A and B are shown apart, each in its own frame.
Chain A
Amino acid sequence: MTTTPPHVRLTNVTKTFSRGRNGTQVVALDDVSFEVAKGEVFGVIGQSGAGKSTLIRLINGLESPTSGQVHVGDQEITALSERDRRGVRQDIGMIFQQFNLFRSRTVAGNVAYPLKVAGVDRAERDRRVARMLDFVGLLDRAHDHPEQLSGGQKQRVGIARALATEPSLLLADEATSALDPRTTTEVLALLGRVNRELGVTVVLITHELDVIRTVADRVAVMDRGRIAESGTVYDVFAHPRSEAAADIVRGALRDRPSAETLARLRRSHSGRIVTVAIRDRTGFQTALARTFLAHNVAADIIFGGISELQERAVGSLTFELTGPADGIDEALAALRADGVELTEED
């Protein structure tokens, strides 16, 4: 297997801010390292205040780390002067939560801006603007001004502007957080096309699991300035190893009962309550049912949820188990021996 060099690499990046008059040190990023491969969609998810916005701005050098290195391609951004960073930024597109379109320019004028900055001549500029607006489906709105567009259209203009110079890397800073669910889906579909059809590497940050599972290949979970865990979207969220990742899955899938729900379930169910993580394996639930039956255990589903991540099933089911006490113990032991993840709720 040949290894191609990563498109983006962060190595032991730390960023601290001093805040207020007395200069209290706030740690925004704490020893962060990860790599983004060429051509993939890499998501960074975390609560607000987890340091995501700072992180994405390090990649195009809008911010500088306190320590550590940032590489884009074979260039070390952190070693470049501000002047040299400008050249690199022309090959990195960026889109924003609030779109940040120029209100003093038309839609076409917005898309043309980075081309002007890059010194592209007028004829070529017009050609590229038309091509990008056609790509995002807004060619007929070229002469409108941003305030005449809906939120989703504004973000599509943002995407056209970010890609006008044909960059190989696109940074998306909470690009769908200001949009309604339906528009979010449209914009995410467009980002998917950008990645597949134009071969652009995408780094996106978000607080929504839905965004990650719709477009991302791999994900890093951020928690208070650190990377709690990272890996393929399926691995991280189907089998979270960190509390932060588990929280995000619980919040999005709502498949596991909260403490309050559990207390309520307990009042109406006298049997033992066990939560089983769903496996993406055909016949998994049939196998569960057979095991319970074989030990004379009645298993009632009283809570749960099953969803999909990267076209594989994830989720969990909570059962009330009734029957002979040793039968239940034996059934649970058999399941555990079979590699089933289960937790007995107490």
Chain B
Amino acid sequence: MDEFLTNLPVFREAIWQTFYIVSISVVAGGLLGLGLGLVLYATRPGSLMSNRAVFITVNILVNIVRPIPFVIFLTAIQPLMLVTIGTTIGTNAVTFALTLAAAFAVSRIIEQNLLAVEPGVIEAARAAGARPISILLTVIVPEALGPVILGYTFIFVGVVDMSAQAGLFGGGGLGDFAVTYGSQRYNWPVVYITVAVIIVIVQAGQFLGNALARKALRR
């Protein structure tokens, strides 16, 4: 325990890094994934703005990227990282990779939940003379909001999970702390305190997500 107290500044730094990585990835990846998901939904055959070429391209891209384990994905996109952010290690590099991974996961969640919107309400909006883009943004997205929020919550937990691997590429964070200061030194209290913090973060996110979804669903 004394050792833990001496490492307290490092622990605080690790918590901060996890917050940094997770919040940027969830927000930026969430927005990017929303865009991708809207494209997937709207361009599919028979949909509002069906466009075979766009749909097939995006669909295949998502199918290729999404199943790649995050550690491998981190390695595989290093050339892209060099070109875009100029580095392949550190917190920002990990955040960049996690943002992309989250975006692809979010895109499917968005697509699935939009597909579950009743065709009838879309028809009602079309019958009112609305444009497809307006139907998409002012009818379909609001109608799917509750499940979409729950989907984001699910992704948030997944991002916290993946952020634990940041240490492998010098990204720091709680996962790195638990391994370096905990298990590698056989200091189990450090491991379990870290686990407790992770649980609190995940629970808080889940609680917030559930509350927002309940508000959107009014139940």
Among the stretches A88-96, A131-139, A236-244, A327-335, the one at the interface with B is A88-96
- B69 is an interface residue with CB less than 8 A from chain A: no
Among the stretches B1-9, B38-46, B117-125, the one at the interface with A is B117-125
- B145 is an interface residue with CB less than 8 A from chain A: yes
Asked if A89 contacts B124 (CB within 8 A), the reply is: no
Interface size on A, residues (CB 8 A): 29
Bound-state CA distance A37–B131 (Å) is 30
Q: Which of B92-139 contact A (CB under 8 A)?
A: 118, 120-121, 123-131, 134, 138-139
Asked if A104 contacts B145 (CB within 8 A), the reply is: yes
Bound-state CA distance A156–B17 (Å) is 55
Asked if A117 contacts B127 (CB within 8 A), the reply is: no
Asked if B130 contacts A101 (CB within 8 A), the reply is: no
Asked if B130 contacts A117 (CB within 8 A), the reply is: yes
The answer to whether A96 and B126 touch (CB under 8 A), given A102-B139, A102-B143, is: no
Using an 8 Å CB-CB cutoff, how does the interface string of A157-185 with B read, 1 for contact, 0 for none? 00001000100000100000000000000
Asked if A89 contacts B129 (CB within 8 A), the reply is: yes
Asked if B142 contacts A104 (CB within 8 A), the reply is: yes
The answer to whether A113 and B142 touch (CB under 8 A), given A100-B118, A147-B218, is: no
> Which residues on the A side are within 8 Å of B126 (C-beta)?
62, 89
The answer to whether A113 and B131 touch (CB under 8 A), given A100-B120, A145-B218, is: no
> Which residues on the B side are within 8 Å of A86 (C-beta)?
129-131
- A87 is an interface residue with CB less than 8 A from chain B: yes
Asked if B129 contacts A100 (CB within 8 A), the reply is: no
> Which residues on the A side are within 8 Å of B134 (C-beta)?
117
- Shortest Cβ gap from A321 to chain B (Å): 55
**Which of A92, A113, A147 has the largest number of chain B CB atoms within 10 A?**
A113
A145 closest partner in B (C-beta): B218
> Which residues on the A side are within 8 Å of B125 (C-beta)?
102, 113, 117
Q: Which of A100-116 contact B (CB under 8 A)?
A: 100-105, 113-114, 116
Asked if A90 contacts B128 (CB within 8 A), the reply is: yes
> Which residues on the A side are within 8 Å of B145 (C-beta)?
104
Q: Which of B45-101 contact A (CB under 8 A)?
A: none
Bound-state CA distance A90–B131 (Å) is 11
Asked if B143 contacts A103 (CB within 8 A), the reply is: yes
- Shortest Cβ gap from A198 to chain B (Å): 18
A116 closest partner in B (C-beta): B138
Asked if A101 contacts B121 (CB within 8 A), the reply is: yes
Q: Which of B128-176 contact A (CB under 8 A)?
A: 128-131, 134, 138-139, 142-143, 145
- A275 is an interface residue with CB less than 8 A from chain B: no
Interface size on B, residues (CB 8 A): 20
Asked if B128 contacts A96 (CB within 8 A), the reply is: no
- Shortest Cβ gap from A7 to chain B (Å): 17
Bound-state CA distance A165–B143 (Å) is 23
- A118 is an interface residue with CB less than 8 A from chain B: yes
Q: Which of A239-267 contact B (CB under 8 A)?
A: none
Bound-state CA distance A117–B124 (Å) is 12
Asked if B128 contacts A114 (CB within 8 A), the reply is: yes
Asked if A102 contacts B128 (CB within 8 A), the reply is: no
> Which residues on the B side are within 8 Å of A102 (C-beta)?
121, 124-125, 139, 142-143
> Which residues on the A side are within 8 Å of B143 (C-beta)?
102-104
- A98 is an interface residue with CB less than 8 A from chain B: yes
> Which residues on the A side are within 8 Å of B130 (C-beta)?
86, 117
- A318 is an interface residue with CB less than 8 A from chain B: no
> Which residues on the B side are within 8 Å of A96 (C-beta)?
120, 123-124
**Which of A62, A90, A96, A117 has the largest number of chain B CB atoms within 10 A?**
A117
> Which residues on the B side are within 8 Å of A94 (C-beta)?
124, 127
Asked if A62 contacts B123 (CB within 8 A), the reply is: yes
> Which residues on the A side are within 8 Å of B123 (C-beta)?
62, 96, 100
Choose among B120, B131, B216 the residue that contacts A98 (Cβ–Cβ < 8 A).
Answer: B120
Bound-state CA distance A141–B127 (Å) is 24
B122 closest partner in A (C-beta): A100
Using an 8 Å CB-CB cutoff, how does the interface string of A65-108 with B read, 1 for contact, 0 for none? 00000000000000000000011111011101011111111000
18 A-B residue pairings within 8 Å (CB atoms): A86-B130, A89-B126, A89-B128, A92-B127, A93-B127, A94-B127, A99-B120, A100-B121, A100-B123, A101-B124, A102-B139, A102-B142, A103-B121, A113-B128, A114-B129, A117-B129, A118-B129, A161-B124
Q: With contacts A96-B123, A171-B127 known, what are 19 further pairs, Cβ within 8 A?
A: A62-B126, A87-B129, A90-B128, A92-B127, A94-B127, A96-B120, A100-B118, A100-B121, A100-B124, A101-B121, A101-B124, A102-B124, A103-B121, A104-B142, A104-B216, A113-B128, A116-B138, A117-B130, A117-B134
